[in-house]
Structure 1
């Protein structure tokens, strides 16, 4: 059994859950028995919408062995401090993979790293996008904005002068506060529910987002993508986004976003490939 732990919640959103669902869907299609571990039921419901059949909630990264048995394999997709638990995991489990925290991260106890610049046999590529985004659909003309699944610090409201400059539609995040929508509807032409995520990402002509996972999904779907690089934790480095011809706007820069929105979109060769599971399946 392979367990995938994806850190989730109202402060960190669902990026790791989306990445985990993408990988587990591929592995399930290959006959690998898997189990997704998340931190809350909302993340589990989102994972089901993305094709994951079952999930289990755990408190933190330190609780993986409350579910997984010795001899199983685990993947850790989390920036949390494991408080030394990783030592035990590497001793008890058959395989331990974890996603790098940044480019300077190194394996400490023999675990194998998922890396954004993996060029060797002792690591795994961290860029994983679900195959549903490989099927490009006819686009509907809209500029869709998706900050991410969480806006705990109310970045949108705190930068309302920025959003008032544009006619964008908003895809709400799964963790947005209940009464938040009343304020947001004054800044966007339309508000879309989180359940419409896959439809809107695959069908929208232009997508502005501060979620790096969404940026890659939208790019693969054939949309014009602009990544809003704000002060938040991202699961992929900006350099990887640039490598895949995704335009970058640093901060809430009105003029920069206007410039990119006005530019004609020229489709370039897609460099994103369906994730190769060989390094994982061969070790199970």
Structure 2
């Protein structure tokens, strides 16, 4: 019996699900479990190993291909919207335990090794559009705008060559390898990634969510957090709205009472029972 985590990922999707699943996988590793992280994109798996401490990963194009590498009775945690009602029913029958993000494990899951309250923030303002920008939306947003007093955190899947085109609009561009340090070091974060905003809150930051036209967001979670948001047609307008919000930043209602240890313990009970059963055969 093995434990698998599946994260929808890729150049048109980003790494939000990968970061959430990697946080859970790392917690399992610390309990001497040996989980396998499955990502749709090979680069996402490499990133999780190099930056997030994941030991094992494998590329799986789509969720429906998981039975090709799993065995009946394995345990699965998945973060994707790919599963139809029929597929979920089949997965429940196939797996000993099945957990879905955010239904069973919330989007607010992070790992304290990476994201925890910081005493001091060394970056005043930072913009993180997201890891993905397949349609060059950021470049189009910035066109014909003046340079703004904010730094840009580069996205993992940004196109080569766009850095030279975007550098004129920002104070500086921070490379993608600095993602964790940059998020936790930032006081005011403007981001098109709700996951990045959650990580910022965990570090004591004050994030603002940029509502990207190509993304769907968990509106209930945004409302629960009382997370401020902006929507804009131009870079200058976006920054102006961002500056207005951070002048009198609202109080975030961040209540995270979820105990992941309950699920981890449930997983280990099944693993130990399986070990005893197979050792006696």
Instruction: Identify whether the pair has TM-score above 0.5, normalized to the shorter chain.
Output: yes
Structure number with bigger Rg: 2
More helix by share: 2
> In the alignment, is the contact (CA less than 8 A) between 2:227 and 2:252 conserved in 1?
no
Kindly indicate whether residue 187 of structure 2 is the aligned counterpart of residue 185 of structure 1.
Answer: no
Whole-Å separation in 1 of the counterparts to 2:263 and 2:253:
26
More strand by share: 1
> Secondary structure at 1:134's aligned position in 2?
coil
Deviates most, 30-39 or 10-19: 30-39
What are the ranges of 5 or more consecutive residues in structure 2 without an aligned counterpart? 271-281
> Secondary structure at 2:220's aligned position in 1?
helix
User: After the TM superposition, which residues 6-25 of structure 1 pair with which residues of structure 2 at under 5 Å, given as runs?
Assistant: 6-25=7-26
Aligned CA distance change for structure 1 residues 188 and 165 (closer, same or farther; 3 Å): closer
> Secondary structure at 2:64's aligned position in 1?
helix
Per the TM alignment, residue 3 of structure 1 is displaced from its structure 2 partner at its CA by 0.4
> In the alignment, is the contact (CA less than 8 A) between 1:62 and 1:82 conserved in 2?
no
Whole-Å separation in 2 of the counterparts to 1:91 and 1:278:
22
Deviates most, 206-215 or 127-136: 127-136
CA offset digits 1:215-238 (Å, max 9, x no partner): 00011111121111122334x513
What are the ranges of 5 or more consecutive residues in structure 1 without an aligned counterpart? 100-113, 116-122
Per the TM alignment, residue 251 of structure 1 is displaced from its structure 2 partner at its CA by 3.8
Whole-Å separation in 2 of the counterparts to 1:237 and 1:148:
16
Q: What is the total number of aligned residue pairs between the two structures? A: 261
TM-score (norm 1): 0.82
Kindly indicate whether residue 265 of structure 2 is the aligned counterpart of residue 281 of structure 1.
Answer: yes
For the aligned residue pairs, the C-alpha RMSD in angstroms reads 2.4
Per the TM alignment, residue 83 of structure 1 is displaced from its structure 2 partner at its CA by 9.5
Per the TM alignment, residue 196 of structure 1 is displaced from its structure 2 partner at its CA by 0.3
Whole-Å separation in 1 of the counterparts to 2:85 and 2:257:
35
Aligned CA distance change for structure 1 residues 233 and 268 (closer, same or farther; 3 Å): closer
Whole-Å separation in 1 of the counterparts to 2:144 and 2:121:
26
TM-score (norm 2): 0.83
